[in-house]
Structure 1
């Protein structure tokens, strides 16, 4: 199994990914190879599509992974199958998971105007305070006798 893992690392390193990304991707392939070795007792070249689907189910149940993370694992299995095992990949046999897409918060016109108004208020407040302290500094700098105690 180490030969497969080393081949995978060599092939994926050619993609120019960061070390952190490589480490994350290798995590799923290491889990897959361990699953094959300790649960199925099979060589990666002998695995059926059903066994690949069973691995994905096991991985999601065992590690409580989100659908996005499962998609990452499926992508890495695809890469492993195509570039290490040199076998074709069939997207219909192991489809990507569907997940909810969340849209960013877009404030209403009233909320946007209120927010901008609050910034203007803060700007006026801070500019007033800044001017006040500048005047105090100027006053004491030009009248140093005020601070002297008789």
Structure 2
């Protein structure tokens, strides 16, 4: 490990960045170093300018990739190198106005039924039934299940924030049955390695393996939509909205800071669009 990388890791830890953010920042810095075949502390402001032009005009990276690269470099410059690269103040991630994919309730049931192994199916079902992010689902601990209040306590979610989400009774039954298969003292979904009992696992399921299972399931289903595990969270929120749950309640359950973020689901709900169209029809009745 280079001295610069070590300093970057230590500084991110001191600043309290999540493990996922640390991995993303390190990967972004590594891509920059590999592009120039030089460590970042040997680059100039002009080098950074050309690099972002390369990302935007040649590679045409997604907005999220550009944003991560920008945030990683700003962190490196401000907290590690203590330098000034004016170009970073000019760079803006390309604007995006895309809507996420949403599955119907039938499509969700079809996909979950196709998941072959019970522990993968239980984890993916939990992610959908509680509107969780992937890492929130696989890292669930037994102590986060509050059966008395019928809530699931999501701890250290995105932004290191806690929240409570409803725990459906059928899901509680599923989780109890699933836990009986391994009886791990900590994890609801412990890692499973060939030749090792899940009871003794030192970590939860790996996100990479769960994502691979999900990709294979989507291919097997024949569904042509671009579906990821995060699609289950989008679908859950949209289904709640279609069922009449207040948008502010959904915002709290999702852990969104801004109501504008949650308002996205009003554009994804066919029922919302249909109801709005009916209102427009009523407004026009009787007009000359």
- As a proportion of its length, which structure holds more helix? 1
Which of 96, 101, 105 is 1:100 aligned to?
A: 96
Please state how far the C-alpha of 1:8 moved relative to its aligned partner: 0.9
Across the two proteins, how many residue pairs are aligned to each other? 110
1:7 and 2:7 correspond: yes
- Could you tell me which runs of 5 or more consecutive residues in structure 2 were left unpaired when the two chains were aligned: 99-262, 279-288
The structure-2 alpha-carbon separation of the partners of 1:29 and 1:99, relative to structure 1 and needing over 3 Å to count, comes to: same
Question: Helix, strand or coil: the match of 1:84?
Answer: helix
Question: Helix, strand or coil: the match of 2:93?
Answer: coil
**TM-score scaled by length of structure 2:** 0.32
1:19 maps to what in 2?
Answer: 19
2:33 maps to what in 1?
Answer: 33
1:70 maps to what in 2?
Answer: 66
Alpha-carbon separation, structure 1, partners of 2:46 and 2:85:
13
Please state how far the C-alpha of 1:30 moved relative to its aligned partner: 1.4
The structure-2 alpha-carbon separation of the partners of 1:74 and 1:25, relative to structure 1 and needing over 3 Å to count, comes to: same
Relative contact order (alpha carbons < 8 A, sep ≥ 6): 1 or 2 greater? 1
2:44 maps to what in 1?
Answer: 48
Alpha-carbon separation, structure 1, partners of 2:57 and 2:6:
27
Instruction: Let me know the Cα RMSD of the aligned residues.
Output: 3.2
* Rg larger for: 1
**TM-score scaled by length of structure 1:** 0.56
Higher deviation after alignment, 3-12 or 101-110: 101-110
1:110 and 2:252 correspond: no
- Could you tell me which runs of 5 or more consecutive residues in structure 1 were left unpaired when the two chains were aligned: 114-150
